[in-house]
Amino acid sequence: MSRVVWPLIVACTLIAAGYAFPATQMDWLLPAVLGIACFAAVFAMIPIPGLLLSPLPWFLLTYGLYFGIGPAIYPVLSVDAKAYLDAFFQFSDYWARKTNVLNIVGLIVVLVSFSLVSGDRGAGGSSPVRSPALAERLEKRVLVLCLLVGYGLKALNPPGAPDSAAYVSGVLGSLENLAWAALALLAYFVARGEWKLMWIFVPVLALEAKLAVESLSKLEILTVGMFVFAGVLWARPSRSLLAIAVGGAVFVLAAIQPLVSLGRLAQRGTGATVSAGDLVAVVRRSPDLLNELESRASSSGLTRISYGPSQAFAMDRYDRGLTGDTFRGILFVYIPRVVWPGKPIMTPGAAFNDLALGNPQSQSAPGAMAEAYWNGGWPYVVLAAVFIGALFGGFSRYLLPAISAGDARWVPAASVMMITARGPDMWFVANFVGSLSYTVLMLVVAFALIPYPRQHA
């Protein structure tokens, strides 16, 4: 993997050098180049076995989208879309340049840290598969564990239901990620030609798609596709399949925007789960509503990937001496809520939105890099980026050789890292620091319950 990462570091450094010159209209193109460089790097990594089970590709894809393409499209947004964003913070050329520098510097530090920690073993390692038959037996044992535990926990605590007695902490709740691992494993087996598992794969995929749509979250909907394609490309590494996946993601984003808006209207700010029947009822009450929402979808969807104003708001507060305190959560992030029921909320999106807009009924975030700057300026940006790179690098150092050797017990932990990596726009402590304990938990569960099968078994 280092053969791809280091050229990307060089490319990012050249892009950053562009900001050393006086501001010009070309400044808006530099983030687009950053986004394209991130996408190209992932495309180049595809031949690495099990690549999409590792966190770095997903981090690069989402980082390139939110902090590369997102800033680049700001100048072409409609007047209404810009007004919507500027209500958060009055964005300007000065802040565009400053936030873009933050994003490129943060990414460079992440990549350098990743490369130094992952080493050459991140390229997939040289460990041979001990036995294809034993590896397949192990993969199916891991699949059974993921299906039983992951969906067992989902059944205990379905969306919209009050917390059950068994669902007492974030640690236990994190085991629901085993359901995502099961989806990836099922896609992997089907892509390898084990069609008898289709009778499990199709209902599981349909269930996850239904839950994702009812969550009214585009990210959750795309996450379903993320795990399916991770499994497919694990079985059949192919750049053409990756291109299909990216094209499909763009199509889905455009198609579901009016549906999500419709669902949020049906929700009426109650926070309750919206069923498919609720969506149909809203359309029947107002047949013209869907057409109106479709006409707004393009602009609304683009504002969702434009983090410049929220980043600028956080950075401006630090520059004015109004330092954030969200990093203090590092002191107690690993204390289970079952031990400390009064543990502070680790995702202060409502408080941040209230600070910026005076509206605590909605949530927003500036992204991990801007949050780090808000808490401690450039030193904190470097420290946060080093941590993210080391977290991903350390995990990939052992994951990729293990996958190459046929040890699927790493897949449950990989599901946690994949979920973490898709969120460079999320809160640093909750998303990146907190995920470490969940990753270790997944490894302990998988290795404790599923020993490597013996040859004579």
C-alpha 425/C-alpha 296 separation (Å) is: 24
C-alpha 357/C-alpha 10 separation (Å) is: 39
C-alpha 84/C-alpha 425 separation (Å) is: 19
Q: What is the pLDDT of residue 125?
A: 43
Q: Which residues, including other chains, have CB under 8 Å from residue 300's CB and lie 6 or more apart?
A: 81, 257, 261
CB environment 162-176: b (16+ within 10 A), e (fewer): eeeeeeeebebebbb
Q: What DSSP assignment string belongs to 180-220? A: HHHHHHHHHHHHTT-GGGHHHHHHHHHHHHHHHHHTT-HHH
Compute φ and ψ for 104, nearest 5 degrees: -75, -40
C-alpha 396/C-alpha 117 separation (Å) is: 9
Distance from CA of residue 36 to its chain's centroid? 18
C-alpha 10/C-alpha 46 separation (Å) is: 20
The answer to whether residues 90 and 357 touch, using CB atoms and an 8 Å cutoff, is no
C-alpha 304/C-alpha 102 separation (Å) is: 19
C-alpha 258/C-alpha 255 separation (Å) is: 7
Please state, as a whole number, how many other Cβ atoms lie within 10 Å of the Cβ of residue 329: 20
Condensed to tens digits (0 to 9), the pLDDT of residues 16-46 reads: 998 888 877 777 889 999 999 999 999 999 8
Q: What is the pLDDT of residue 141?
A: 93
Angle between helix 132-156 and helix 177-191 axes, rounded to 10 deg:
140
Residue 358 is classified by DSSP as S
Q: What DSSP assignment string belongs to 3-67? A: HHHHHHHHHHHHHHHGGGSPP-GGGGHHHHHHHHHHHHHHHHHTTSTTGGGSHHHHHHHHHHIII
C-alpha 302/C-alpha 132 separation (Å) is: 46
Q: What is the pLDDT of residue 113?
A: 97
Q: What is the pLDDT of residue 93?
A: 85
Q: What is the pLDDT of residue 46?
A: 87
Q: Which residue matches tokens 């994949």?
A: 418
Digit-by-digit pLDDT tens for the chain (457 residues) are 778 899 999 999 999 998 888 877 777 889 999 999 999 999 999 888 788 999 999 999 999 999 998 888 877 777 777 777 778 888 888 898 999 999 999 999 999 999 999 976 544 444 445 677 788 889 999 999 999 999 988 887 766 555 444 444 566 667 888 999 999 999 999 999 999 999 999 999 999 988 887 777 778 888 999 999 999 999 988 888 888 877 777 777 666 666 666 666 555 545 555 565 666 665 565 555 555 554 444 445 566 778 888 999 999 999 999 999 999 999 888 888 778 878 888 888 889 988 888 888 778 889 999 999 999 999 999 999 999 999 999 999 999 999 988 899 999 999 999 999 999 999 999 999 999 999 999 999 999 999 877 665 4
Distance from CA of residue 214 to its chain's centroid? 19
Residue 433 is classified by DSSP as I
